[in-house]
Structure 1
């Protein structure tokens, strides 16, 4: 390419955050940038990342994970969503385990216990928020893991090994997106094997007349490029030499008769990105209009420049110090009609992330010796940073990670924002898959920057499409941004029409916690919703509806709990050549032994004792349904009392001073507890059945002999229920009830109940302490994960310290730390020590 032909623009516009312009007459640019700003303001996005304790597991082990939730623009853990979903997906059976977790300070942690009966195979960990479901599932975090049985059944045959070295598919990517007749273009390419992994190769390009147009060799993981000038009315075919000496052919993209090409130089100059535009058919000066180049990074426009259709070629330089952050830059050229004509991604690495260091108090340890681990986080000026980090410590003899496997840094800056350009069905599973992402971040690798630039030739921007912004096309928002769990439903009149002017009360109570009581109302269509609810495990949710005049003649329903997104089954052939047989066998044996020993340890905690007789007064176990403690009045129901009553309310008549019960004229009852205040003119007391607020009408459908006790609460005794108890409380405790009875089977007007699943409660990582003698300390300890600390926070000095004990293995130990500063910036750190 002859760069002397290019005339650099004399005016380059840098856009502020307000997108102001310094020239008049740039209406086209202003409109384009305004649409871009509006799109990103109305469609903010999130990113989720999980750190796992290791990359593969034995069935029966536990997957430990730490989840980080970032805003997709600035990469800070201050996104509004507070609920994170994590799924374990089988490639053939779909989702098998799902969890939901409360996000705290932008992060959360949890675990997945792998069933010991789970079949060996490749699985995926998928993580996302409900809000992310409004966009493509491409944006979900995914990580493939391998789960083994006790012994591996996978064998690599010589035939399979040969197939993995052959080129199954070869794709070509003209720089900027187009081949144009008569214009020289750099063409990137990527070859993959049957497993979708890059494979090295060499080949050549022939014209239809069998003339050689270009020759090429791959440089890294099947990728490379060659320069090529297509001729008019000519077609081209590439031939790749296979390992057996045969050739396989692939057709190159067809060249356009006229148009633009783009060339980028992001390697030769550390301070600037050079952009060159060529035009096959310049327009006469009196008819020529402006063309525009825009560069953006994660929704922030950082460069805008104008050119003219009259020029055959021109170029601009983008100062790298104007780029907001490390990461991918999307450079797009628009013609005078606002159509994107050329586009290219480049990666800018300015080392703007945090400094993170991890060290141990010694370099060499003994078995079962205590380890003190020190963590330090600072900015580039050396100032301490408060942050949130997770630490995984594994046995290097059992857990052998890929040297270039992905991490927090590579995911946020690279893989989460790009997708492979091919859309063919066969390789749909490879979209966004970057092999060995950490390779491109090696500071001591002189080829890393060049190979990263070649990688950018083969990738496309995945977060949005410019055409959608120009056409004002917006995502369909069907999933809310969750600040907590939610319960929705509908209230209908007896005739089936929506019930408006209806107030609804939600009550839920989990074990050992006070009940949550929330108020809402139905809209004109009868729909109601409760948002921002927090509860763990599972519980019964009770909803009661009431009209403005106090009538409960309603049909109230609760919507089913939302299900996880459908799983798109992705089958990528497993590449057994990546696993060393001896190392894998050692891992499987030790992992299986560790699981069995854990089971024995739990059994050993149940000790068989000789029979003894203990004489003491039996303590009464507090009834978890009586959260209020002492009642003002109590009626103990016996067989005589219940036998003479047709419903629960009849057992109250005349037995508690100040409690008046009378028919309401519509088949129900009116209950008044005298001597207590009223709110809004209502005299109805709060009725609670086995700890759950309910309607007085439901009491007429309960067998009186199923009731164990009736408590009346007045004044201060009812204070725990808040303002709703200003007219007193009637608490019914049943013999059959308790937390497990399903009262949704007991029909009542205006009432609905449903069992809901809440947040997963993370288990504590088991790690023995060998500083004192304990019975379990005599058992062998060869755990592959020595320590897992998902919630390590550095203090105002930027430091944190944690301790753990080594196992019985004489081996090398790997430490991996990932995380982020609260003020922004991400970091990873690694270290290794020996146990001898």
Structure 2
């Protein structure tokens, strides 16, 4: 592998981030021209791949301990941004800087959307946390591709946990040669990025000096510590960069390794809508003119594949920008050996892919406890109405909340942050603003952040990807690990069943693989349940069973900045804390309680062929007596003192030769001697399936399910081979509620209303005319409030809108 390829791996990621459901053989090398070969490989690869991209809209980014995080999750297809209905479960976590989860939730996705809430513990430490979201399928790939955002939490009730201003750490500076390599005797464009201890860009002046202390180039950042400069490294010369922060001591940094021979790449504007890509090389191929190939794709869709002849060490490609797609275009230069030798990103601001959201208020100033009506209008770039799925938050716009709004909103995340490696400071700046400076800053961003959706090795070398985690297309999947009890090695080929006992229990079966794992795909279920696992032993062999952690135990390399308090936060934070404590004290007066744990799954075998309600019949001392006296569909046979049960095949009016699947509150039972002596007073009903029943790869000669009154294996002594685990299901829904002040008595109520979050609505939609509406009441707190609306259409256009209004005392 050449040195450039190694650099590309470091910059753009080592693993493929193409998500392939099916992988088909690709076009052979043969005698295909290199440029055509690359195009063929890419086009053969792309139709068989899928990407999931998540975005989480939270009500805010700054919280106090004990508050609730309200959220809406959007699932989008990676290249089109259309809502993607593949994974039905999203895993959501709040993680501390030691990568330990503080909160975890499994969220049901319906029509590519999910919603819920997380209750922040009152014991949590004041700090910056990471909220991350991913699907089961996304766990096949690096955690850098999970959705991630920073959340600040302050515990005002624990004095020692409130951090002081953190000491400054050394400035971190990185250099990024355009195209990937710094080559001697070639004019090189070099981008740079310098950040401080808080992860934000710093202001500084810099210079490139040689070993003789001569300055050969000067530079300084344009925006967020990012900028670029050009210089030509000479033979037999070494270089260093000197960084002089506006506050602090100078720093001397080595430049990236300078190649003695290679390729450089420079992209520039050559007029309105025209780009020029100049490729320089010091690599020669004898007397034969050398060819290079420029390949471009936007969001995995091929846009151009052209060949250029190198003359005098240079070739220039002209690109019509109108032929590029919106968003990030990936330009790659290949040599005749079909190796990528240069690579860079270019961003075309989205127009057609942007949803215009208008928030219309009847006025800009409202009284306390007054009703606010918001009229929403969703339009495309041609000002035509759009149906959109939206989420809306209304919150007090104090300095603490505004501090968190610098993170990527849905528009900048979908178009920028989700496809780039590394942290992006104030991502919204690049799409909300226009002008030459913004365009230059945006191009600098492209030079300093690598592409992260795939690498070329998987495309060109036809590597087959092995996927450990399959999408959860119906509901949560539960994976059980089986091991031999004595040796603790994986137990393969073991028939295993899992049951979630309930009045409408869930039941699934499977066979363990080579790694001893059995996956059970279930229907949605909520809250904490008991999961009962039972395997069929081979002879006298005994197995251990353990449910695998469904949450990812891998974390991204990104670090969390320290939580540093602004001097302007002291008074707002004190008021915020007092208001929150009052609200929590009176919470029960207006908050709707969380729904109880439920199992939404139906009994897997549906309506039984025959059902017996035991209370309708004469009581007998044992179940065997019940079977013999009034359940003709089941017969009991005894051989060598062992009881055997057989089910009638009603289609043939004869009994099956094999025993049926016997379930006790949904749990499979194989100890017939114990079962037939069970006291029927505890049994509510018998459900019988009197035909052969197929469940996945299993075939059962009838099914008998015994249901107790409690539905939870009441008073039944379980066999030691049965394992019971407490297991957390899907996130239970809590309804957001706020007071209503329609009448005079309600407005004059003495119950205090110190809400900072006035409204949260995760299921807001616009109709075919592009119109939608929301309403809420203001609280007793005066000040400036901000309305944040985000969402997406069925066509994948994404929009964000913010509006402010004032709340004042009506008596003033």
Give the one of 757, 779, 790 matched to 2:762: 790
- d(CA) in 2 for partners of 1:698 and 1:234? 86
- What is the CA distance between 1:465 and its match in structure 2? 2.2
For 1:596, the equivalent position in structure 2 comes to 585
1:184 and 2:187 aligned: yes
Q: Retained in 1: the 8 A contact 2:481–2:516?
A: yes
- d(CA) in 2 for partners of 1:560 and 1:680? 41
Q: Retained in 2: the 8 A contact 1:193–1:199?
A: yes
For 2:338, the equivalent position in structure 1 comes to 338
- What is the CA distance between 1:731 and its match in structure 2? 3.1
- d(CA) in 1 for partners of 2:228 and 2:198? 22
For 1:95, the equivalent position in structure 2 comes to 101
Q: Retained in 2: the 8 A contact 1:558–1:754?
A: no
SS at match of 2:470: coil
The Cα offsets for residues 244-300 of structure 1, whole Å up to 9 and x where unpaired, read as 67422112223222222111115x64412221111235545x523421111122222
For 1:4, the equivalent position in structure 2 comes to none
- d(CA) in 2 for partners of 1:726 and 1:136? 45
Give the one of 446, 454, 465 matched to 1:456: 446
Bigger shift: residues 378-387 or 826-835: 378-387
- d(CA) in 2 for partners of 1:491 and 1:247? 59
SS at match of 1:146: strand
Structure-2 change in CA distance of 1:393 and 1:699 (3 Å): farther
Structure-2 change in CA distance of 1:209 and 1:348 (3 Å): same
- What is the CA distance between 1:776 and its match in structure 2? 11
- What is the CA distance between 1:727 and its match in structure 2? 6.5
Matches within 5 A, 1:286-305: 286-305=287-306
- d(CA) in 1 for partners of 2:295 and 2:491? 51
SS at match of 1:454: helix
For 1:617, the equivalent position in structure 2 comes to none
- What is the CA distance between 1:739 and its match in structure 2? 3.3
TM-score (norm 1): 0.80
1:560 and 2:566 aligned: no
- What is the CA distance between 1:557 and its match in structure 2? 7.6
Matches within 5 A, 1:97-176: 97-150=103-156, 154=162, 160=167, 163=168, 168-176=171-179
For 1:75, the equivalent position in structure 2 comes to 81
For 1:411, the equivalent position in structure 2 comes to 413
SS at match of 1:591: helix
Q: Retained in 2: the 8 A contact 1:635–1:710?
A: no
- d(CA) in 2 for partners of 1:632 and 1:241? 85
Give the one of 684, 692, 707 matched to 2:666: 692
Matches within 5 A, 1:34-433: 34-92=40-98, 94-150=100-156, 154=162, 160=167, 163=168, 168-243=171-246, 246-266=249-269, 269-283=271-285, 286-324=287-325, 326-352=326-352, 353-397=354-398, 400-402=401-403, 404-419=406-421, 432-433=422-423
Give the one of 723, 727, 731 matched to 1:760: 731
Q: Retained in 1: the 8 A contact 2:195–2:202?
A: yes
- What is the CA distance between 1:49 and its match in structure 2? 0.9
- d(CA) in 1 for partners of 2:229 and 2:401? 36
- d(CA) in 1 for partners of 2:655 and 2:628? 25
1:486 and 2:487 aligned: no
- d(CA) in 2 for partners of 1:193 and 1:490? 45
For 1:815, the equivalent position in structure 2 comes to 787
Q: Retained in 2: the 8 A contact 1:786–1:807?
A: yes
Give the one of 576, 584, 587 matched to 2:573: 584
- What is the CA distance between 1:374 and its match in structure 2? 1.8
RMSD across aligned positions (CA): 4.2
The Cα offsets for residues 309-367 of structure 1, whole Å up to 9 and x where unpaired, read as 4442221122222223x211111111111121111111111412222222223322111
Q: Retained in 2: the 8 A contact 1:678–1:727?
A: no
Q: Retained in 2: the 8 A contact 1:508–1:517?
A: yes
Structure-2 change in CA distance of 1:399 and 1:247 (3 Å): closer
- What is the CA distance between 1:757 and its match in structure 2? 2.8
SS at match of 1:411: helix
Q: Retained in 2: the 8 A contact 1:283–1:309?
A: no
TM-score (norm 2): 0.82
- d(CA) in 2 for partners of 1:442 and 1:752? 56
Structure-2 change in CA distance of 1:313 and 1:686 (3 Å): closer
For 2:796, the equivalent position in structure 1 comes to 824
- d(CA) in 1 for partners of 2:217 and 2:490? 73
- d(CA) in 2 for partners of 1:231 and 1:659? 93
Structure 2 unaligned regions, length at least 5: 1-25, 594-601
- d(CA) in 2 for partners of 1:492 and 1:575? 45
SS at match of 1:35: helix
Structure-2 change in CA distance of 1:278 and 1:729 (3 Å): closer
For 2:712, the equivalent position in structure 1 comes to 739
**What is the aligned length?**
754
Q: Retained in 1: the 8 A contact 2:361–2:375?
A: yes
Structure-2 change in CA distance of 1:234 and 1:670 (3 Å): same
Q: Retained in 2: the 8 A contact 1:394–1:813?
A: yes
SS at match of 2:241: strand
For 2:639, the equivalent position in structure 1 comes to 665
- d(CA) in 2 for partners of 1:182 and 1:271? 31
Q: Retained in 1: the 8 A contact 2:591–2:738?
A: no
- d(CA) in 2 for partners of 1:755 and 1:256? 58
- d(CA) in 1 for partners of 2:243 and 2:718? 73
- What is the CA distance between 1:758 and its match in structure 2? 2.0
- d(CA) in 2 for partners of 1:315 and 1:117? 61
Q: Retained in 2: the 8 A contact 1:545–1:554?
A: no
Q: Retained in 2: the 8 A contact 1:546–1:552?
A: no
Q: Retained in 2: the 8 A contact 1:637–1:708?
A: no
- d(CA) in 2 for partners of 1:78 and 1:490? 31
- d(CA) in 1 for partners of 2:137 and 2:196? 36
- d(CA) in 2 for partners of 1:290 and 1:243? 46
Q: Retained in 2: the 8 A contact 1:60–1:113?
A: yes
